[in-house]
Structure 1
Amino acid sequence: MGTVIRSSTGRKPSEIMRLIVTTFTGIVFGFFLGVSFPTLSLTKFNLPSGLLPSIDLSYIEDRYTGRHAWSFMNHSNRRYSPNHLSNDTSKIWVPSNPRGAESLPPGIVEAESDFYLRRLWGKPSEDLTSKPKYLVTFTVGYDQKKNIDAAVKKFSENFTILLFHYDGRTTEWDEFEWSKQAIHVSARKQTKWWYAKRFLHPDIVAPYDYIFIWDEDLGVEHFNAEEYLKLVKKHGLEISQPGLEPNKGLTWQMTKRRGDKEVHKVTEEKPGWCSDPHLPPCAAFVEIMAPVFSREAWRCVWHMIQNDLVHGWGLDFAVRRCVEPAHEKIGVVDAQWIVHQGVPTLGNQGVTETGKAPWQGVRERCRKEWTMFQSRLANAENEYFKSASIDMSNSTAH
């Protein structure tokens, strides 16, 4: 140790100065060398796969150097990369895109959706062995499982099955094999039109040519969905329903099944009920228990459904506004007919108030909603005509 001390203290001043100058020169040279070259990316190194088997180099780069550094480093090379992502989104503005998506390049926009089930593995392009062309929905309670099972079996594999559960019971339906491939939506004590407004947006059901929105208490012994749609297409119906049988409990003559026709579009009602033979309930009319809509007609009808008027009363008199001419494109298919069993399941979902039975409160609201809907529609029309300076005083249309 003494030797080291003596050697150090015995150095000449010129040697010490040379060491200091060399060290300083090395530091300065290293600094300028560092700022003259961009930061090296770990992902640029071709490391052997066995050296770092479980390390995601791109993650390390993002986590510790920042994506901005990566973007800066590759800025000069972007023109050579066909899949690069630009940070400058201010240059994209496409007014023809759906509202809210104007800043996206059109090629990435998915404006529509569907109910097709997907796998959690494999290639997305291989998920679907087929794409059903039609959609049928039933609003159901578990107590009607036998009736729904019989109804679903009348629809082929060309149909997506969608069940809306108003009683909250969904898993029990798996006793039916078809239920395992069906779509189940559960919200307690809601109506068919409440579900339709919230889950059947036109951009979601766009892949389907026709949409069936049916009640749970329909007898389908004499019904076949594929044959039904053949007649719908043959007669050019945009909005339709199967004929109803028997006469018991029938409300409107228009929906009564005729044994001598495939389809009918007009009827005769009680005196004074039809001011115009081309208007409801003598024409351009189907009931809300089992309607079938084309994709185009449903896009219009969906917008007419009110958020707070959940029973749909009055809607059947208004759907004619969504097709033209309505008295030719709305009709009843007689050759494929159903039975309306009239099971009061919806009424039982009500509550007892002011001494009234649950079904009485439900029925009262139905009637009120009918009046409210007609009033809203009339007011909306009048406001439009007024704003457009259109005189409708001499018009017979209503």
Structure 2
Amino acid sequence: MDSILKSRKRLAFSRSVVVALCLGFIGGMVLQSITGMPPLLGDGRFVLDAAGSRSIQPVRRCDCVQNATHEIQPPSGVPSTGTGVQKLDQSSPPPCWRNETVELVPPSEGSTNQIGSQNCLRDESEYEWRAVKKLPQQFIHTNSDYHRRNYTKLPPQDKPPLNMSLLAMAVGFKHKTHVDAIVRRFSGDHFQVVLFHYDNTVDKWRQYDWFQRVLHIQSEGQGKWWFAKRFLHPDVVAPYEYIFIWDEDLNVKNCDPHKFIDVMRRNELQIAQPGLEGVSHWPVTRHVKHPQNETEIHLRTSMGKSNGQPCSNTNITAPPCAGYVEIMAPVIEHKVWRCVWHMIHNDLIGGWGLDFLLHVCVDGPPEKHIGIVDSQFVVHDDGRSIYAKAEGNQTANAANDYGKAVLRRNYWELEEYFKRWGAALSANNTKS
């Protein structure tokens, strides 16, 4: 009798399991027909449908290569911390192995956009865009801007945004004289100005008559490239023709931004900077006083070396001989900015190393489309201002210690940036 009861219980349990599985399958099919989403397996994978049109399978991977040695040779003159900038041994897993990325395979049809994660890239595939594709196309606004609207008026009464360029600076109140002069140079309806405040002094700037027309963003202790990565997303700055990302300590007496843009257009420059006087780190960016009736720009220098090759060799077109601007005062055309923004790493905030890779974002030969505008030049008055705290009551020793700490981080970031670039190149070569 006991054995019969046990057999019946097992049979009833088996039937319950079968019924539950059938109900689950039917429910999944109903859900798929309603939402268009393929049913999900327990491990997070999607079931392939018959036509294969929704065959999307998340996979965890990171485009970095293990056990690879990369020889990165930045131009001579790049300082080293002693841990080896010239040869970077990547025998240990690169940093991005610590932050795996989910890539959706296969990618969407015609989708080439890339989204940056901590240290890797992944495809922005159909999985992310499926909801967007459901919207009426004429209803979608893909971009934004910094243009202000009047909350007390109806939208038709808003002042329409003009074709403008953008000035973005990280500023501290200790440089108020420089900042005031720069902002006044970028006055009028043709420039939007964004000030990133790193010293919590926004209210002190209210004394200036331009305060209300400038957009203010504040986060204590952060630098220009930290702000740029977070607040200059390509979709936000897309309406602006040129993006000026300048240091706060520039003397702009001899630089008219309107004329600067005219020079860039005439010479088809996609990335440029004003000629530098005062503190300048590379010969190519120094202001050249051209004789009358000669060119108003220069594209290369004969001084210095690149990868051990003298810049006097006109066949050398690599940075910093040519195709190079410094990160203190770059001006970047909007169509190039999306590429540049993706090259700014979220955790590397000093921007060191970025200047040596800007040329890869240019459409065409970098030695023809990256240049120095000599007719509109600036003086870099206080090249080491970034290494001093904003407070004026600190001791000399405290200021010196702070400066050394910032410099040490920048050197570390420079080496790390080149390591990641080498690892990424190896990953691409391996896949090809």
Bigger shift: residues 296-305 or 273-282: 273-282
Question: Measured at CA, do residues 142 and 106 of structure 1 come closer, stay the same or move farther in structure 2, by a change above 3 Å?
Answer: same
Question: Measured at CA, do residues 205 and 274 of structure 1 come closer, stay the same or move farther in structure 2, by a change above 3 Å?
Answer: farther
- State the AA in 1 paired with 2:425: E
State whether residues 275 and 288 of structure 2, in contact with CA within 8 Å, keep that contact through their aligned partners in structure 1: yes
Query: Which whole-Å deviations, capped at 9, do the CAs of 1:352-373 have from their partners, x for residues lacking one?
Result: 9999711001001111111110
Question: Distance in 2 between the 1:251 and 1:186 partners?
Answer: 29
Question: Measured at CA, do residues 169 and 256 of structure 1 come closer, stay the same or move farther in structure 2, by a change above 3 Å?
Answer: same
Question: Distance in 2 between the 1:187 and 1:226 partners?
Answer: 30
Question: Distance in 2 between the 1:321 and 1:271 partners?
Answer: 19
Are 1:250 and 2:280 counterparts?
A: yes
SS of structure 2 residue aligned to 1:177: coil
Superposed, 1:237-316 pairs within 5 Å as 237-246=269-278, 249-260=279-290, 261-270=295-304, 275=309, 277-316=316-355
State whether residues 274 and 280 of structure 1, in contact with CA within 8 Å, keep that contact through their aligned partners in structure 2: no
SS of structure 2 residue aligned to 1:240: strand
Please name the residue that 1:153 is paired with: 184
Please name the residue that 2:409 is paired with: 365
Instruction: Give the deviation of 1:255 after TM superposition.
Output: 0.2
Structure 2 residue runs of 5 or longer lacking an equivalent are 1-32, 38-53, 55-107, 112-125, 310-314
Q: How many percent identity over aligned positions? A: 36
Question: Distance in 2 between the 1:153 and 1:195 partners?
Answer: 22
Give the ranges of 4+ consecutive aligned residues of structure 1 lying more than 6 Å apart after TM superposition.
Answer: 91-98, 350-356
Instruction: Give the deviation of 1:142 after TM superposition.
Output: 1.0
Are 1:101 and 2:145 counterparts?
A: no
Question: Distance in 2 between the 1:221 and 1:354 partners?
Answer: 33
Question: Distance in 2 between the 1:169 and 1:89 partners?
Answer: 54
Instruction: Give the deviation of 1:123 after TM superposition.
Output: 2.2
Aligned match for 2:260, one of 219, 228, 244 = 228
- State the AA in 2 paired with 1:250: S
Bigger shift: residues 358-367 or 93-102: 93-102
Aligned match for 1:336, one of 364, 376, 394 = 376
Please name the residue that 1:34 is paired with: none
Superposed, 1:85-124 pairs within 5 Å as 99=129, 100-124=131-155
Are 1:218 and 2:259 counterparts?
A: no
Superposed, 1:315-334 pairs within 5 Å as 315-323=354-362, 324-334=364-374
Question: Measured at CA, do residues 357 and 113 of structure 1 come closer, stay the same or move farther in structure 2, by a change above 3 Å?
Answer: same
Instruction: Give the deviation of 1:106 after TM superposition.
Output: 1.3
SS of structure 1 residue aligned to 2:237: coil
State whether residues 284 and 301 of structure 2, in contact with CA within 8 Å, keep that contact through their aligned partners in structure 1: yes
Instruction: Give the deviation of 1:179 after TM superposition.
Output: 1.4
Instruction: Give the deviation of 1:346 after TM superposition.
Output: 2.2
- State the AA in 1 paired with 2:178: N
Question: Distance in 2 between the 1:189 and 1:384 partners?
Answer: 36
SS of structure 2 residue aligned to 1:153: helix
Question: Measured at CA, do residues 130 and 203 of structure 1 come closer, stay the same or move farther in structure 2, by a change above 3 Å?
Answer: closer
Structure 1 residue runs of 5 or longer lacking an equivalent are 1-87, 389-398
Count of aligned residue pairs for this structure pair: 299
Question: Measured at CA, do residues 271 and 307 of structure 1 come closer, stay the same or move farther in structure 2, by a change above 3 Å?
Answer: closer
Question: Measured at CA, do residues 355 and 114 of structure 1 come closer, stay the same or move farther in structure 2, by a change above 3 Å?
Answer: closer
Instruction: Give the deviation of 1:89 after TM superposition.
Output: 9.0
Query: Which whole-Å deviations, capped at 9, do the CAs of 1:265-295 have from their partners, x for residues lacking one?
Result: 1111225656362110100100000000000
Bigger shift: residues 275-284 or 234-243: 275-284
Question: Measured at CA, do residues 221 and 347 of structure 1 come closer, stay the same or move farther in structure 2, by a change above 3 Å?
Answer: same
Query: Which whole-Å deviations, capped at 9, do the CAs of 1:36-86 have from their partners, x for residues lacking one?
Result: xxxxxxxxxxxxxxxxxxxxxxxxxxxxxxxxxxxxxxxxxxxxxxxxxxx
Question: Distance in 2 between the 1:89 and 1:143 partners?
Answer: 60
Query: Which whole-Å deviations, capped at 9, do the CAs of 1:220-239 have from their partners, x for residues lacking one?
Result: 01010000000000000000
Aligned match for 2:387, one of 338, 347, 357 = 347
Question: Distance in 2 between the 1:272 and 1:110 partners?
Answer: 44
State whether residues 269 and 281 of structure 1, in contact with CA within 8 Å, keep that contact through their aligned partners in structure 2: no
- State the AA in 1 paired with 2:377: W
State whether residues 163 and 241 of structure 2, in contact with CA within 8 Å, keep that contact through their aligned partners in structure 1: no
- State the AA in 2 paired with 1:312: G
- State the AA in 1 paired with 2:169: F
State whether residues 274 and 281 of structure 1, in contact with CA within 8 Å, keep that contact through their aligned partners in structure 2: no
Structure number with greater Rg is: 1
Please name the residue that 2:204 is paired with: 172
Please name the residue that 1:85 is paired with: none
SS of structure 2 residue aligned to 1:283: coil
State whether residues 202 and 299 of structure 1, in contact with CA within 8 Å, keep that contact through their aligned partners in structure 2: yes
Instruction: Give the deviation of 1:125 after TM superposition.
Output: 2.6
State whether residues 116 and 131 of structure 1, in contact with CA within 8 Å, keep that contact through their aligned partners in structure 2: no
State whether residues 147 and 161 of structure 2, in contact with CA within 8 Å, keep that contact through their aligned partners in structure 1: no
SS of structure 2 residue aligned to 1:208: coil
Instruction: Give the deviation of 1:126 after TM superposition.
Output: 2.3
- State the AA in 2 paired with 1:153: R
Please name the residue that 1:23 is paired with: none
Question: Measured at CA, do residues 272 and 310 of structure 1 come closer, stay the same or move farther in structure 2, by a change above 3 Å?
Answer: closer
Bigger shift: residues 332-341 or 347-356: 347-356
- State the AA in 1 paired with 2:341: W
Instruction: Give the deviation of 1:122 after TM superposition.
Output: 2.1
State whether residues 299 and 368 of structure 2, in contact with CA within 8 Å, keep that contact through their aligned partners in structure 1: yes
Superposed, 1:127-138 pairs within 5 Å as 127-138=158-169
